[in-house]
Amino acid sequence: MKLVGIAGSVADKSYNRMLLKYIASHFGDEADIELLDINDVPLFNQSDDQTEGDAVQYLKRKIEHADGIIIATPEHNHTITASLKSVIEWLSFKIHPMAGKPVMIVGASYYDQGSSRAQLNLRQILESPGVDAVVMPGNEFLLGDVKTAFDDQQNLKDERTVSFLKTTLEKFLKFVTVINDMNKPEDPGWEAEDLESHGKVETTVEGVGMHAADWVEKAAEKTHAAEGDDYVKLDRGLLTVNQLNYFLNSMPMELTYADANNQFIYYNHFLEAKDMLAARTPAQAGNPMADCHPKPAIPHVKQVIHMLRTGKTDMFRLPVPGMGADKYVMHYYKAMHDADGDYKGINELVLDIMPMVNYYLEHTGQMLVKDPDAETDAVSGASSRSKAAEKPAKPEVDEVSGASADAEPTAEPEKPAKPDVDEVSGASSNS
């Protein structure tokens, strides 16, 4: 992670600059921190516009390319220094590189209170309109009695102070990640996903209405599809159509196929809709995917499909909460490709994993015990240590599937905040 540090002093000897140098050197494994000098920035004067001057533009470029900012402020007469105030004036006059940028405030002073009042003053300035920085709340690092705080090698002497500084910096790095994720521009490409299936792919059956309740029968007749005891040569097998149905309907999970044209064309029909984890009916086969999801979920379904189609991720894993203590239903959305790697649609698997978990526990004599040090991902249930990431706010879930309603998807292998989809990728009840 790339950070920049700004000391709010132009003095030849600055303890706040010394503090930033210590942070940059001592915590170099945590983040790459570059110190920026403000000595050449002129006093702010609106009548003598220096916005395009080298000193101001240098700061602008460095801040824009950084993930976050650490500002170390002295305290002069209960406020920040005139030099730091002038820098912020230039950076909020005609240019606004600090807008939306995560900021951590630290400070050192000669007295017991550190730079507490200057930090409060700086926080108000940074959050004012025109500056619009995003200051990390709380976690104030106030270094008092600074003349005795450093040894001859300019290292902080007190281990408790170092430990608290490390903790504060680690929290700031998490804060930076969260804020920058929120500020990421949304990829508009997903909006072009056509869930009405207006296009066609090489396997599209034309001349048969997608909404026909007997689409399977009509499409099979039009294509002279193999059926019954007709043989089908597969990659590594030769099965009759009946054998394929036996095989797929015996799978201990519900399977759905939605093709590259976003048309729901198959599910393994071995249960009635009322008995399924994700209800489907025979009449839905052939429907465009727009008919298979509630309208509020459509934008997020498009996002999921777009990311699978474009290779940003190969699989989404989504649980359906609220099924009771004896069930843990998972939905897996897996991208399918041909031998050349071209996208061919989505294979959705739905299954209750609790029988497998219970079988394992029964036959190994083990039991599930809550890890007191682990935090649970609100979407996937995967544990994450507190050092790795703070626990996200639990997303809302839609009534149909329990899939997350608000979070935006991001590609694996990073742990994403999952998108809002209803309980099936290929089909759901049309209520």
For the stretch 245-285, pLDDT in tens is 999 999 999 999 999 999 999 999 999 999 999 999 999 99
What angle in degrees, to the nearest 10, is found between the helix axes of 82-90 and 54-64? 80
Proportion of the chain in helix, strand, coil states, percent, rounded to 5: 30, 20, 50
d(CA 103, CA 105): 7
Give buried/exposed letters for 349-379 (b at 16+ CB in 10 A, else e): bbbbebeeeeeeeeeeeeeeeeeeeebebbb
d(CA 129, CA 98): 11
Output the CA angle 115-121-124, nearest 5 degrees. Answer: 140
For residue 336, what are the contacts with CB-CB under 8 A and spacing of at least 6? 343, 344, 345, 346, 347
Contact 104, 69 (CB under 8 A): yes
For residue 341, what are the contacts with CB-CB under 8 A and spacing of at least 6? none
H or E element that contains 35 = strand 32-36
d(CA 329, CA 354): 8
Q: Is the pTM value of this prediction over 0.75?
A: no
On the 0-12 / 13-18 / 19+ scale of CB atoms within 10 A, 70 is buried
C-alpha closest to that of 114 among 19, 189, 186? 19
Q: Which domains occur in the chain, in start order?
A: 2-183 (3.40.50.360), 190-385 (3.30.450.20)
Give buried/exposed letters for 258-291 (b at 16+ CB in 10 A, else e): bbbbbbbbbbbbbeeeeebbbbbbeebbbbbbbb
- 301 forms beta bridges with none
d(CA 84, CA 78): 14
Instruction: Tell me what pLDDT residue 418 has.
Output: 47
Q: With a cut of 50, which residues of the chain have pLDDT below it?
A: 377-431
List the structure tokens of 375: 């935090």
Inter-CA distances, 397 with 262, 288, 339, 400, 418, Å: 23, 24, 37, 8, 11
Which stretches of 241-378 are assigned E, i.e. beta strand? 254-259, 264-267, 315-320, 329-337, 343-352, 374-376
Alpha helices in 127-237 (DSSP H): 159-183, 215-223
Instruction: Tell me what pLDDT residue 373 has.
Output: 75
User: Is the bond preceding residue 413 a cis peptide, omega within 30 degrees?
Assistant: yes
Inter-CA distances, 52 with 57, 64, 90, 147, 224, Å: 6, 15, 10, 38, 72
145: region left, alpha or beta (phi > 0 left; psi from -120 to 50 alpha): left
Alpha helices in 286-425 (DSSP H): 298-310, 354-364
